[in-house]
Each structure stands twice: as C-alpha cells, then as structure tokens.
C-alpha cells in the first residue's frame, strides 16, 4: 500500500460474482458537488434516492439507490457516496468505469485493498484494533468467531487496553514528577505504594493476556496433520471429524497420494486438518512424491496426530516414523480400529498391548497417554476433540469476548515483561527510579501499538494490504 493520500477513491464493495445487489463505494474530501453531478439531482445526507445510473452520454447503465454520507459522519470520516444496484459483474464494471471517467477531473482513482478502512483509522473513526476487527468479521468462519470479531469492532478489546494504558500513565506521571523535583527527597516508591499499584496493573494485564490468547485461538485455530503408515485410517478419521466424505477411503494401502485439507470447528475453534499420504518405503514414483509432501506438511504442523493400527501395536515402522517427527511439536498418539479388536472400543482402564510407556526420545513432545478410537464407529472421537482443544489452550465455556491477533498477544507479552522489569527496580530503591520510569514508558508504548497510537507506517501497510478491495 502506498503512503496515505486524500485522493478520492472508488471500488466495488461487494464480493466478486453474481448477486442480488452490488455496491460501489466512493470516498474523498468534498465529494458533494461531484456526487450531485453524477446522480443529476441533489442528494439529501443519509437518505436513499432511487434513480437511474446514467453514463456521461445519457445511456442508462442500471438503476438503484444512491446514498450520500457527508464527512466526518461516515465510515471513512470523509464524504462517502454509495451506489447500490444490481449485482452482476458486467453491470457493476460498467458503472465503475463510467464513474472513473467522470471523476478524472477530481483525481478519482481505484482504491487499494483496505484503503477505505485505513482512512477510517487515520481519520479517527476507528482505532487499529477495531480496524483489524473489520477484516476479522468478514473472514470469521464460525458463529463464535463472528460474535467475538463484532465485540472487537465495537471497542471491547480497545477499552481493556485503554484502561491498562491509563493506569500506567497515572503511575508514570507520579514517577516523572518525582524525577523533575529530586530536591523534595520524596521516597516515591513507599509514599505512593508504587510496587502495589504496579502489581495491580500487572494482574489486570495478565487477565487481558489470557483472554487475548483465547481470542487468538478462536481466530487462527490449529494446523493439525494426520500422519502414519498407509491404511491406518487417516482418511476415515478426516471424514469422521468433518462429518462428510472428504477423502477417498479404500482398503488399498496408498490410496491417498497427495494432501487433503479440511477445516472443521470444535466449539467454534477452527482446526485445519491435513490428511497426508501414508508413510512407507515405496518404488512408486507418484506415491514417493506424495510421501515427500507428507513430510513437508508434518514439518509445518502445529499438532501432529500420529495414527496407528490398534491391531498392530508393536509395528517397528511406527517407531521409525516417531524418530523422524520434528522435535518441539505436540504429538497425539492415536490407536485406530479398536472396533476390530473384538473386545470393546477402548475403555479408560484399557491399554494397547506393548505400548504402556512412551516412545523413546519423544517424552517431551508426546501429549499425555494414547487415545483409543474407531473412526468407523465414532468411539473415542469426543476424547480426541477434547485433547485437541486442550493443546490449543482453549478453555471450554470461557469464550473470548473479542478476537485477537498474534501481534496483539506479542504486544501484551512485551508490556508484561517491561512491567516485571519495573517491579524488579521497585524492589531496590529510588536510586533506580529513572529505570523504573523507562520500563513504564516502554510498557505504555507496547500497549499503544495495539490500538495504533504508536504504529509504524510499514506495519500499517502490512495490516491494511491484507484487506479485501472495497473495504
């Protein structure tokens, strides 16, 4: 995205493709006179006018509604004109091209991705966290995510951050006033209970950070890769979790040759499940390529679900697979096909023969005990879902009131580190009061980066360029 400009901008604001309604949005300073020339009639603010959309030669291109929103009381804070007509791509393109031609004299140009929302941010209609929530609301893949994105857009997250910032600012004011008048010899840390007040701010920040981590999980979910030998039931498990036949399932080993990706939701949390080719030695060229891609997918996984056949618990090939799994990634060991064992579907006190312990060399990454399931009957799948949520850090029943992004969590963690460092200085004496004040300043800046009070142009460009055009 280029540097901010005040050129009038225009874009189709509805999604590509056919639809009942299509919207063209124009934003810029002092658009009123141009908008009335375009529509060939006066436009009352925030009033829907039904009229024909005629081109500069008088030909009717479409008919629909024109709405004019004078700035600053508009989405962008500038004058905004919206033309709402029929949603066919061809007719929208004709209206758009005519508007561009008739707006050449005022410098009208096509908007870049996210430029309308960027202007809303720069004109103080939204803070940065709210602006990001606009994109999150559009991209929400579950009801829970949409509800939380709407809470962020309404300012719930920003209010929490602003409250923390205000408490830090009050403490900074007292510290810096003391630094300005050292002759008063005030024992600041004791007189103003600085350590206690700092502890209260840190505790409040910890609460916001916990909620932000929940919001991050709700927004981004988990990248889960199904790994294992051929014919252990990876594709059957994918179908069972998805609730539909996504992957082809046959008794023939090596049926899956390339990855199959499906997004599912567990309690509103998106899980990106990847079915991969069975891992084994093979002379088949196509299958070998699929296996190479499987290992590449495993290397990118956030969680590896190692599926094994419960009828063959001591297969040495599974031990070879375990040794090759990347370190530091949670691995769920899942024994499938327990329905074929002939004596139950895996009760809580039952163990798989020969596998009561953990695989050697993977104690740090294996996630608790093995799970016994049947992708065919559905036995054990609820326990598997619960284990995946636990790995994601999701607390059932504790839905985040707002969404968060990775940068929000990093900023909150940075602020907490600075507050902890400040607490260390407070434990000594007023001789380090200037260091105490500096850590408070850095914590305040980290929080302000969330809402955009202190944000680099590069970060703004990265954030808004990910938006869709027209928003």
Tell me the per-residue pLDDT of 396-448, one tens digit each, with 9 for 90 and over: 665 668 889 999 999 999 999 999 998 887 766 555 777 888 899 999 999 99
Residue 205, burial from CB neighbour count under 10 angstroms (0-12, 13-18, 19+): buried
pLDDT band, very low/low/confident/very high, at 344 (cuts 50, 70, 90): very low
360 within some domain:
yes
224 near 272, Cβ under 8 Å? yes
For residues 189 and 282, state if they share a domain: yes
Residue 125 annotated as binding? Answer: yes
Q: Residue 95 sits in a domain of what CATH number?
A: 3.30.1360.120
pLDDT band, very low/low/confident/very high, at 370 (cuts 50, 70, 90): confident
Residue 233 annotated as binding? Answer: yes
For residues 25 and 104, state if they share a domain: yes
Residue 211 annotated as binding? Answer: no
Residue 252 annotated as binding? Answer: yes
Residue 6 annotated as binding? Answer: no
- Domain extent, residue 84, equals 9-125
Residue 275 annotated as binding? Answer: yes
pLDDT of residue 287: 72
Residue 21 annotated as binding? Answer: no
What's the CA gap between 18 and 87, in Å, rounded? 6
pLDDT of residue 350: 46
Residue 25 annotated as binding? Answer: yes
Residue 27 annotated as binding? Answer: no
Residue 255 annotated as binding? Answer: yes
For residues 135 and 275, state if they share a domain: yes
Residue 215 annotated as binding? Answer: no
Please tell me the number of Cα atoms within 13 Å of 383 on its side-chain side. Answer: 20
320 within some domain:
yes
Residue 236 annotated as binding? Answer: yes
468 within some domain:
no
pLDDT of residue 250: 45
Residue 68 forms beta bridges with which residues? 45, 81
What's the CA gap between 68 and 74, in Å, rounded? 9
172: nearest Cα among 448, 410, 408:
448
Instruction: Choose between 318 and 415: higher pLDDT.
Output: 415
Residue 117 annotated as binding? Answer: no
Tokens of 217: 């999980």
Lowest mean pLDDT among 168-177, 179-188, 266-275: 179-188
Listed in sequence order, the residues at least 6 apart from 429 whose beta carbon sits closer than 8 Å to its beta carbon are 189
Residue 251 annotated as binding? Answer: yes
pLDDT of residue 252: 46
119 within some domain:
yes
The number of folded domains in the chain is: 2
User: What does 122-144 look like in DSSP terms, one character per residue?
Assistant: HTTSS-HHHHHHHHHHHH--SHH
- Give kind and range of the element (H or E) at residue 285: helix 285-299
Q: Residue 441 sits in a domain of what CATH number?
A: 3.40.50.300
Q: Is the pLDDT of residue 251 over 80?
A: no
Residue 77 annotated as binding? Answer: no
């Amino acid at each position: 995205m280029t540097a901010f400009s005040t050129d009038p901008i225009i874009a189709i604001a509805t999604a590509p493709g056919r639809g009942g309604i299509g919207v063209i949005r124009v934003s810029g300073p002092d658009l009123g006179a141009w908008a009335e020339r375009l529509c060939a009639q006066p436009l009352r603010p925030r009033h829907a006018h039904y009229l024909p959309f005629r081109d500069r030669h008088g030909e009717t291109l479409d008919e629909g509604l024109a709405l004019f929103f004078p700035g600053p009381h508009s989405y962008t804070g500038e004058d905004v004109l919206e033309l709402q007509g029929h949603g066919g791509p061809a007719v929208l393109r004709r209206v758009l091209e005519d508007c561009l031609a008739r707006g050449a004299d005022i410098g009208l140009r096509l908007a870049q991705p996210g430029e309308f929302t960027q202007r809303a941010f720069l004109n103080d209609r939204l803070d940065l966290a709210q602006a990001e929530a606009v994109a999150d609301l559009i991209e929400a893949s579950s009801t829970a995510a949409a509800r939380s994105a709407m809470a962020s857009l309404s300012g719930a997250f920003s209010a929490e951050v602003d409250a923390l910032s205000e408490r830090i600012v009050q403490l900074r004011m007292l510290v810096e006033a003391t630094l300005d008048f050292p002759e008063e010899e005030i024992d600041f840390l004791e007189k103003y209970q600085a350590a206690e007040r700092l502890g209260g701010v840190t505790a409040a920040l910890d609460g916001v950070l916990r909620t932000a981590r929940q919001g991050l999980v709700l927004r981004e979910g988990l990248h889960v890769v199904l790994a294992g030998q051929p014919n252990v039931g990876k594709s059957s498990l994918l179908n069972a979790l998805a609730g539909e036949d996504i992957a082809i399932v046959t008794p023939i080993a090596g049926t899956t040759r390339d990855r199959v990706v499906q997004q599912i939701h567990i309690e509103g949390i998106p899980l990106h499940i990847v079915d991969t080719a069975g891992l084994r030695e093979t002379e088949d060229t196509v299958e070998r390529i699929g296996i190479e891609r499987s290992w590449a997918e495993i290397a990118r996984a956030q969680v590896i679900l190692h599926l094994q056949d419960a009828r063959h618990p001591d297969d040495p090939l599974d031990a070879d697979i375990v040794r090759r799994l990347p370190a530091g990634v949670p691995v769920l060991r899942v024994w499938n096909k327990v329905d074929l064992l002939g004596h139950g579907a895996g009760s809580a006190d039952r163990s798989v023969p020969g596998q009561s312990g953990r695989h050697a060399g993977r104690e740090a990454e294996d996630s608790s005990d093995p799970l016994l399931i049947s992708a065919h009957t559905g036995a054990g799948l609820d326990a598997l879902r619960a284990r995946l949520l636990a790995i994601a850090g999701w607390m059932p029943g504790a839905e985040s009131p707002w969404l968060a992004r990775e940068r929000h969590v990093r900023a909150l963690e940075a602020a907490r580190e600075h507050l902890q460092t400040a607490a260390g200085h407070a434990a000594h004496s007023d001789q380090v009061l200037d260091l105490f004040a500096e850590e408070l300043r850095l914590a305040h800046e980290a929080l302000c980066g969330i809402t955009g009070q202190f944000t680099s142009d590069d970060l703004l460009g990265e954030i808004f360029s990910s938006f869709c055009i027209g928003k």
